[in-house]
């Protein structure tokens, strides 16, 4: 069964957001609505009302009226959107009144529904934790699944972010990998939308190496820092030269710190508008779908985290799902 009211979104890009009624939903929806406005995009708000039926003593529970469940879910999300639109910070975002909103109430589990819809989206926004039984987990299963499998950049929003600096600061981790180059482009574009600055962050660890008879002398921290800073500047220059989308790039700052990459990025992201990371870096486990640094940042960073990956070619058509859609 597939019911709908209204029409599908037009030619504008689409930002998809998952909303589940959790405490974080307001923050997630506010971020997604503002992101859509800055991108000249429309917003697709997705809720899942999948119902699991169990038996008690061999007798099945009464089947709920799925139509009523959908209507109630749709009304809750509409109310939440109205509240978010009334927020002073959200209403002040240029273009916020131009964002068309479509609601999708799906009977499918939220993670695969959101991933499927990401194939037609320019951005997917999710909360770090939802309403599931494992809310004590540091990163919810839906957020983890989306950050791992989505076909577009994914922003993971925390329910209690630290107030952002002014001007807005977009932090991006750069390590010379292909993933960090894609992240750098995304960071420059995001800072341009925010009228902010880009903070390019690199890290290093110097370890004394010993053999049985003598030590291996490693370069001083200052020399390593200078070398890494030079590589970061070269990578930024290459990205600016290769990508027309970065014309009129914002101010770019460089930070090089000693320490583990994830820890450095998390520390530097305090007060940032967003932290941008590649899905995988240069570590030993590049075959993983989501690298340890990206996962560490998505879990612990005090600001929204955007996870980006290189495009893998045209996506397969999205399967039809049982859902109710409404334009707003």
Q: For residue 238, what is the domain's CATH number? A: 3.40.50.620
Ranges of H-type helices in the chain: 25-39, 66-85, 88-91, 110-118, 141-149, 178-194, 221-242, 261-268, 292-300
Residue 171 pairs in a beta bridge with 199, 275
**pLDDT of 133:** 39
Any domain includes 146: yes
Given a cut of 70, is residue 155 above it in pLDDT? yes
Any domain includes 271: yes
Q: What is the CATH number of the domain that holds 7?
A: 3.40.50.12370
Residues 186 and 297 reside in one and the same domain = yes
Residues 277 and 320 reside in one and the same domain = no
Any domain includes 229: yes
Q: What are the b/e assignments for 31-59, b being 16+ CB within 10 Å?
A: bbbbbbbbbebbbbbbbbbeeeeeeeeee
Look at the block and give the residue holding tokens 């030993």. 284
Residue 99 neighbours by CB distance under 10 Å = 23
Ranges of H-type helices in 86-122: 88-91, 110-118
What is the pLDDT averaged over residues 92-98?
95
pLDDT 10s digits, 234-254: 999 998 888 766 667 799 999
Q: What is the DSSP letter of 248?
A: T
Tokens of 76: 């809750």
Which residue range forms the structural domain that includes residue 61? Answer: 3-158+313-327
Any domain includes 308: no
Residues 125 and 145 reside in one and the same domain = yes
Q: What is the pTM of this model?
A: 0.82
> Based on the structure, what is the number of domains in the chain?
2
The residue ranking higher by pLDDT, 139 or 158, is: 158
Given a cut of 90, is residue 16 above it in pLDDT? yes
CA atoms within 13 A on the CB side of 278: 24
Residues 137 and 175 reside in one and the same domain = no
Any domain includes 79: yes
Phi, then psi, of 227 in degrees rounded to 5: -65, -45
The confidence band for 129, taking pLDDT boundaries of 50, 70 and 90, is: confident
| Average per-residue pLDDT for the chain | 81
What is the pLDDT averaged over residues 124-141?
66
The candidate with the shortest Cα–Cα distance to 92, out of 30, 154, 180, is 30
């Amino acid at each position: 069964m597939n019911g709908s009211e209204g029409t599908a979104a037009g030619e504008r890009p689409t930002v998809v957001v998952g909303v589940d009624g959790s405490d974080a939903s307001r923050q997630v929806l506010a971020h997604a609505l503002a992101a859509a406005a800055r991108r000249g995009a429309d917003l697709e708000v997705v809720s899942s009302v999948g119902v699991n039926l169990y038996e008690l003593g061999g007798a099945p529970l009464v089947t709920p009226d799925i139509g009523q469940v959908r209507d109630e879910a749709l009304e809750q999300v509409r109310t939440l959107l109205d509240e978010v639109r009334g927020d002073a910070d959200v209403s002040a975002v240029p273009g916020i009144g131009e964002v068309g909103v479509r609601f999708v109430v799906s009977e499918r589990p939220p993670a695969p529904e959101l991933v499927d819809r990401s194939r037609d989206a320019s951005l997917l926004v999710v909360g770090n934790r939802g309403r599931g039984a494992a809310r004590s987990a540091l990163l919810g299963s839906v957020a983890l699944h989306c950050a791992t499998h989505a076909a577009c950049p994914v922003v993971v929003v925390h329910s209690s972010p630290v107030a952002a600096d002014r001007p807005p600061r977009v932090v991006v981790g750069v390590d010379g990998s292909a993933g960090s180059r894609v992240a750098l482009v995304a960071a420059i574009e995001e800072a341009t939308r925010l009228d902010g600055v880009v903070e390019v962050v690199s890290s290093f660890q110097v370890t004394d190496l010993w053999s049985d008879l003598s030590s291996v002398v490693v370069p001083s921290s200052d020399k390593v820092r200078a070398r890494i800073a030079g590589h970061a500047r070269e990578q930024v220059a290459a990205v600016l030269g290769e990508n027309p989308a970065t014309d009129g790039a914002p101010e770019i700052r460089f930070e090089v710190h000693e320490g583990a990459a994830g820890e450095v990025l998390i520390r530097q992201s305090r007060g940032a508008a967003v932290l941008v990371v590649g899905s995988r870096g240069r570590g030993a486990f590049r075959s993983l779908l989501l690298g340890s640094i990206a996962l560490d940042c998505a879990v612990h960073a005090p600001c929204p985290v955007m996870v980006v990956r290189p495009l893998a070619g045209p996506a397969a058509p999205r399967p039809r799902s049982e859902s109710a859609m409404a334009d707003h």
